[in-house]
Structure 1
Amino acid sequence: MENFRFETQERLGDTIGEVAYRRIRSHIVNGQLLPDSKLKLERMKDVYGASVTTLREILNRLAVEELVTAEGQRGFRVAAASGAEFRELAALRTLLETHALRASIMQGDIEWEASVVAAHYKLSVAERRLVASQNNGVDKWVSCDWGFHHATIAACGQPVLMKTHASIFDRFARYHMLVMNFRGQGVVDDHTSLRNLVIARDADAAVALLTQHIQSGFDHVMATGCFE
């Protein structure tokens, strides 16, 4: 389930491969596995508790998601990161998410509204803690940020779009995690306003705010000077 996208704990019915897949993907997105670093299967076997064969399957799967680069007989590396890619991801996230948001506002029911409010509450708690500390918890924030944005578009009725958006979100979020720098009160206010506009069914204003919100995230990361 997409609600558990950033959770790495084993759940009832999980296979070893599924747990290892979520952990490796999470470690790439949250920056524990750095861009362009070599992924050594023998070492990963001990870290993730999966066979070399299973790990190869996982890394090939992550290569399709463009979080990993396959190097033929030379193995695998974590995908590189660049300002050019981040710019493209921001544009694609905006395109997909604004389309899905407008459709969700048109089609969502009361249960959808409740899920948006619940996801925002969880995010607001993580953000209050971050504003207070400014130096830890960014990884938890990214998980809650995903939960909120996913909730706002979950009623769009377009599963292919949702799957593509989830992959783009992972890659976009990785850049925030690599700089480990929370945007502050401005992003908190954006999320509160977006929740209110969604519940009010004001699609035009919600789409405008979301577009500005994603652009601000891009600008914030680029301003760190970590990417060219």
Structure 2
Amino acid sequence: MVNASAVTDTGSAGDAGYRRIRDDIIFGVLTPSERLRLEAMKEDYGVSISTLREVLNRLASEGFVIAEGRKGFEVAPVSVKNLQELAELRILLEHHAMEQSFGIGDMEWEGRVVAAHHKLAATERQIASKSDVPELRRRYDGEFHQALISACGSRELMAAHAVIFDKYFRYALQYRGSETAKQHQALLDCALSRDIAKAKKILVQHIRGCVEHALASGTLRRE
């Protein structure tokens, strides 16, 4: 007979390991193209080898890890081409989803957008006066952009956007400053006034500005 509590414990450990490894890839703790050695990771993340394989295969299906058959796993690399592809895909997804949300969003949707922006703006003010906390910025930035599209009527679209956003955020670890906060405020204003045409233009500036910032750092290789 299967022990239900053991299955639950294994699942919980796997989910926790998945979140930790995924976050460590996004924030560069596990560096691009790094070989992932299961024995060392078993100790670092407190999960079994079999659970690690499941987690890494899950991350490979999302594009955060590369599975190389018998050779094992490595962190997905970063490159100029990949960043540009992610940026354009994010624009495509968000433009479509925002158009749907702006068209049918109700008062509940407006409340989600305002609440998400309030937390993001508070975080951006903290960054301006003290120091950046990339973990908080990624959380509230992501929540705001998800709120903007949350009335689009498609869970699959929102799920796809969430994955693309996190893959894109690997390139956005350095905060770009006040211009980013101004663009977020402008997107909020557009949402409340239902100005989708202006919102689309601002989003393009917002996303491509990050691309330009990352390219200016000179740390990405061209393919």
TM-score (normalizing by structure 1) = 0.89
| Equivalent residue runs for 1:208-223 within 5 Å | 208-223=201-216
Aligned length: 211
Q: CA deviation at 1:175?
A: 1.0
| Equivalent residue runs for 1:161-200 within 5 Å | 161-177=157-173, 181-200=174-193
SS, match of residue 171 in structure 2: helix
Kindly provide the amino acid, as one letter, of the partner of residue 215 in structure 2.
M
Q: CA deviation at 1:128?
A: 0.7
Residue 22 of structure 2 corresponds to residue 29 of structure 1: no
Aligned with residue 77 of structure 2, among 62, 80, 87: 80
* 1:38 alignment counterpart: 35
Partners of 1:136 and 1:172 lie apart in 2 by 18
SS, match of residue 83 in structure 2: helix
Residue 153 of structure 2 corresponds to residue 160 of structure 1: no
Q: CA deviation at 1:219?
A: 1.0
Q: CA deviation at 1:50?
A: 1.3
Partners of 1:227 and 1:196 lie apart in 2 by 34
Gaps of 5+ in 2: 1-10
Residue 62 of structure 2 corresponds to residue 69 of structure 1: no
| Equivalent residue runs for 1:139-154 within 5 Å | 139-154=135-150
TM-score (normalizing by structure 2) = 0.91
The answer (yes or no) to whether the contact 1:29–1:170 under 8 Å persists in 2 is yes
* 2:114 alignment counterpart: 117
* 2:197 alignment counterpart: 204
Q: CA deviation at 1:136?
A: 3.1
Instruction: For residues 171-208 of structure 1, give each alpha carbon's deviation from its aligned partner in whole angstroms, at most 9, with x where no partner exists.
Output: 1001112xxx2100000100011101101111111111
Partners of 1:44 and 1:98 lie apart in 2 by 39
Q: CA deviation at 1:31?
A: 1.1
Partners of 2:75 and 2:13 lie apart in 1 by 21
Gaps of 5+ in 1: 1-13
Partners of 2:210 and 2:96 lie apart in 1 by 19
Residue 43 of structure 2 corresponds to residue 50 of structure 1: no
SS, match of residue 217 in structure 2: coil
Percent identity over paired residues: 44
**Structure 1 segments of 4 or more deviating over 6 A?**
none
- Which structure is larger by alpha-carbon Rg, 1 or 2? 2
